[in-house]
Amino acid sequence: MLETFGIVLLCLTLGAVVDNQSMSLAGTDPDAVVTGSYVLAVVAGLFLCACAFVALRCALRRHAPGRTGRVLLIVAAVVHGVLAAVSLALLGLPVFLGLLLVLALLVLILVSPDDAPASPPRREVSPSTAP
C-alpha cells in the first residue's frame, strides 16, 4: 500500500506542476497532460490496491491466487522488472534493490504452493459392485 500512495502522490504532483507551469510536451495541450496524469494516478492506484488485496487475501487464507489474481500479480511483476531495469541505469542501486525486493515477493506469491487441504480421492463405483 505504501507503493500505491507513492505512485498516486507522484502522478498528482506531476499533474499539479504541469498545470501551474502551463507546460507543453511536444506541442500537446497542457490540460491534456494534466488530465492524463490524474487519470494515470487513479488507474495506477486502483491497480496497485487490487494487487495488495490479492496478496493480502492469499496470505490470510493460505491459498494460491485465483486466475484473475494471478494475472494481476504477473502484470505487476513484469512492470516491476522493467522498472527495476530502468531504475538501475537512472536512479541507482538502492532504488533497484527496492524494486527487486518487491519483484521477488510477487514471484514468491505466484510460485508458493497452495496449503489448502487436499480432498480425498474419489473412488468410482463400477456397475458390477454397486448394490
- For the question of whether the overall pTM of this predicted structure is more than 0.85, the answer is no
Angle between the N-to-C axes of helices 2-21 and 30-61, in degrees from 0 to 180, rounded to the nearest 10: 180
Of 42, 41, 17, 43, the residue nearest 30 (C-alpha): 17
pLDDT recorded at residue 24: 75
pLDDT recorded at residue 19: 86
* pLDDT tens, residue order, the chain (131 aa): 788 898 899 899 988 998 888 877 788 888 888 899 999 999 999 999 999 999 999 889 888 888 899 999 999 999 989 989 999 999 999 989 998 999 999 999 899 877 655 566 666 666 666 56
